[in-house]
Structures are given as C-alpha cells and as structure tokens.
Chains A and B, each alone.
Chain A
Amino acid sequence: DVKVTQSSRYLVKRTGEKVFLECVQDMDHENMFWYRQDPGLGLRLIYFSYDVKMKEKGDIPEGYSVSREKKERFSLILESASTNQTSMYLCASTPHSAQGNSPLHFGNGTRLTVT
C-alpha cells in the first residue's frame, strides 16, 4: 500500500519565520503535489513536481517555494511565514501515467498555525 508521510501533524510558527514542510512517499512515484485545504475553498494547488529537481507552479504559488532533490521527497518552503498561510497542508503523490488516470495518494496533512 502506498504511504505518503508528512513529517509533522501540527506546527505552530511565528510570522516571518522560514518554515519547512516535508513529505516522503515510498512507492517511487514520479509526480508529487502540495495543496492547501481551507474551509469553503477546497484544495488549492500550490506546486507540483513531475521529476527530481523539476517543479511547476500551481494555482497559488505566491509566498511558497519547493524542493525536490530526491524522488521520494518533496519539500514545501514558506520563505517568510504570514498569518494568511495558516492552513492545512496536504502532500500527494501519483505515478506517471500517459492517460492521467492514476489517482492521488494523500498524506495525513500538516496543520500549520502562524501567529
């Protein structure tokens, strides 16, 4: 069974801090994604990566960056955390599929609070 592990379940950070959210998957998936989930807004795509060292902006990349140095690990970085980045962050992975029909496998999420 695919396992997507997010390093922290809960995080509390101060405004202006640099924050790292880590995600590891154990199924050799090519594609990895970072979403944030907010009530009434659903899941919004921040960044995704389709290969090591490759990244693509999602719908709301402002204030975030990512790193993918190894295939199994995809990190989300908040360069200078702000209160409007308080949210649930979800990591997901999926294998490459020419048809695009592979479902996403999600981690349990990291609930980040910025004070």
Chain B
Amino acid sequence: AQSVSQHNHHVILSEAASLELGCNYSYGGTVNLFWYVQYPGQHLQLLLKYFSGDPLVKGIKGFEAEFIKSKFSFNLRKPSVQWSDTAEYFCAVNARNSGGYQKVTFGTGTKLQVIP
C-alpha cells in the first residue's frame, strides 16, 4: 500500500529564512506527486505537482520541489519565506491501487509558522 511521510510536523521560521519541508513516499510503481497548501481558514489548494520530465518543478508563490526517485522523496523548498506563507503544507501521492484505480494518499502535514 502506498504511504506518505512528512517528518516535520511544526516548523517555525523568521521571514527571509530558507525553507525545506521533507516528504518521502513508499510505492513501487509510477507515482504522481503533489504539494497542497491550506492557509488559515481556507480550503486546500494545489501548490505544485510532478508527474514526468524535469524532476525540479516550480509552483506558485516561489515554491519549488525536487523529485528524487532513488530516495523516494519530493521535498518542498522556498529560498526566502514570507509571513504570508504561514499555512499547513501537505504532500500527496497519486498512484493506482490494486483495483487499478487512482488513489490519492496524503502525508500528515507540516504546519509552517513564519515570524515577521
């Protein structure tokens, strides 16, 4: 069964600091990888995704993520965070289950708090 691990549960950074949030998944086949963000009081929205091609993908608001197949990782990065990046971040994997249907599995999330 597929699973997703996010090891950082709560991260506190000062503005302008660099950010890296870890995401590891377990699944032996082809996967599509996503990062979603949930700002306080809002619904989940897509930050970026990877499904093929260049393993370094860029998303909205200056975020990027790198897919490293050998490490089963898809870490999220931002060179310089802003107070408005305070949110909860979720890594997700879309892979086919045993029935052949696409199933999306999420990690436990990382709460990012940016201090002005």
The 8 Å CB contact of A101, one of B32, B36, B90, B97, is: B32
Interface residues of B (CB under 8 A from A): 6, 9, 30, 32, 34, 36, 43-46, 49, 51-52, 90, 92, 94-97, 99, 101-109
Interface residues of A (CB under 8 A from B): 31, 33, 35, 40-45, 48, 50, 56, 58-59, 90, 92, 94, 97, 99-101, 103-104, 106-109
Q: Are A109 and B105 in contact (CB under 8 A)?
A: no
* SS class, residues of chain B in contact with chain A: strand
Give the shortest distance, in Å, between B96 (CB) and chain A (any CB). 7
Q: Are B99 and A56 in contact (CB under 8 A)?
A: yes
Q: Which of the listed residues A33, A42, A48, A108 has the most CB atoms from chain B within 10 Å of its own CB?
A: A42
Q: Are A109 and B32 in contact (CB under 8 A)?
A: no
Q: Are A90 and B44 in contact (CB under 8 A)?
A: yes
Give the shortest distance, in Å, between B23 (CB) and chain A (any CB). 11
Bound-state CA distance A99–B96 (Å) is 10
Q: Are B45 and A106 in contact (CB under 8 A)?
A: yes
Bound-state CA distance A42–B43 (Å) is 14
Q: Are B51 and A100 in contact (CB under 8 A)?
A: yes
Q: Are B90 and A100 in contact (CB under 8 A)?
A: no
